[in-house]
Amino acid sequence: MREKARMNPPLAMMRQAAAAFDRWVREPVDPRPLAWFRAWFGVLCLANLWLLWPDMPMWLGNDGVLPPAVHRDLVSGTRLSIYMAIGYSDAAIPLLRCLGIVGGVGLALGIFPRCAACCMWLFAVSYAWRNMDILHSGDNLIRIGSFFLIFARSDGSLSVSRAVRRWLQSQRGEGAGAAAATVPAWPQRILQLQLCVLYAVTGAWKASGASWQEGTAVGTVLQLGEFQRFPLPEFLLTPVMSQLLSYATLCFELGFPVLVWVPVLRVPMLLAGLAFHAGLDYVVNVQLFQWFITAYYLLFLQCKPGLPIWRSRRHEEGELN
């Protein structure tokens, strides 16, 4: 009986932690952060399509750098993509472009955002399967973000669909209707955790490398001319700065997944992350990876009471009373 009594406090703590996590995932949240993420994510997806557009025949065409015979030897099996339906065909390129346009515009403007997210996800997985050599980490963020937006209610703000619904309601004399007070939290939580996992895994992988432990990793990257975007000042190319920047990178990537959940540290960590990725974008040309990170940052913003959505909720409660 004594052993059972001793077991109760730890079990109670575990149950409380599980209940708190369940509430964190299941309780509804303010719709605006997810809507902001969707809109900025859609704009970035359109920018990614614009960058890919002129070179798609070269990267994805049958007469390009990866003809079907070579691709079959490199990739075993098939994945869900438009190539499963039409096979190796240059007709895939205009289809991909259409999917990218429909998905990007729909997400950016909030026009049937779930259908738009499905189009963007199919676009991203299709070109990723056809030529993996053109991918960067931003492509992973596109696939992950668009997939979970399929299941999210992301049209609670900044949405043409919502504006049209409210206009139709007003035309029918039903009233404009208040903004959606809350939306399910779990898609936002999964995307937040995805960013934390990205930082944690990347930081742990770097920390295990000898060059990062010695502090020479950043110095080596800064001198790779083929990836350099803009010229760098000389003081950044010194051994001391290499060590400082290498260890600062490890501290940020390993610390962000924990510290961002501390309310008082959330904004400082997000600002530090913006500065970190702005510096990387200036130094290293990795397409839009740094920019897609900023879209995920929007998911961590918390709206304060007194903003319109809170006023509308109090107004509704007043009407009910």
Q: State how far the Cα of 240 lies from the Cα of 17, in Å rounded to an integer.
A: 44
* Residues 6+ away with beta carbon under 8 Å from 100: 45, 46, 49, 52, 119, 120, 123
pLDDT at 303: 66
- The one-character DSSP state at 228 is B
Judged against a pLDDT cut of 90, whether residue 4 lies above it is answered with no
Judged against a pLDDT cut of 50, whether residue 320 lies above it is answered with no
Residue 1 is encoded by which pair of tokens? 């009986």
CA 233 to chain CA centroid, nearest Å: 32
Judged against a pLDDT cut of 60, whether residue 314 lies above it is answered with no
Q: Are 293 and 273 in contact (CB under 8 A)?
A: yes
- The one-character DSSP state at 6 is H
- Identify the band that residue 307 occupies on the pLDDT scale cut at 50, 70 and 90: very low
What average pLDDT score do residues 51-80 get? 89
Reduced DSSP (H G I as helix, E B as strand, rest coil) percent helix, strand, coil of the chain, to 5: 75, 0, 25
Judged against a pLDDT cut of 70, whether residue 39 lies above it is answered with yes
Closest CA to 146 of 183, 111, 107: 107
> Who has greater pLDDT, 171 or 308?
171
Q: State how far the Cα of 85 lies from the Cα of 215, in Å rounded to an integer.
A: 49
- Identify the band that residue 311 occupies on the pLDDT scale cut at 50, 70 and 90: very low
Mean pLDDT check: name the lowest of 63-77, 114-128, 183-197, 238-252.
63-77
Number of neighbours of residue 152 by Cβ within 10 angstroms: 25
Residue 177 is encoded by which pair of tokens? 């209707």
Average pLDDT over the chain, rounded to whole?
86
Residue 268 is encoded by which pair of tokens? 């400082």
Judged against a pLDDT cut of 50, whether residue 280 lies above it is answered with yes
Give CA separation, 16 vs 23, 156, 268, in Å: 11, 31, 29
Mean pLDDT check: name the lowest of 35-49, 72-86, 239-253.
72-86
What average pLDDT score do residues 249-275 get? 95
Judged against a pLDDT cut of 50, whether residue 158 lies above it is answered with yes
Q: State how far the Cα of 34 lies from the Cα of 303, in Å rounded to an integer.
A: 12
Q: State how far the Cα of 183 lies from the Cα of 188, in Å rounded to an integer.
A: 10
- Identify the band that residue 230 occupies on the pLDDT scale cut at 50, 70 and 90: confident
Judged against a pLDDT cut of 90, whether residue 125 lies above it is answered with yes
- Identify the band that residue 174 occupies on the pLDDT scale cut at 50, 70 and 90: low
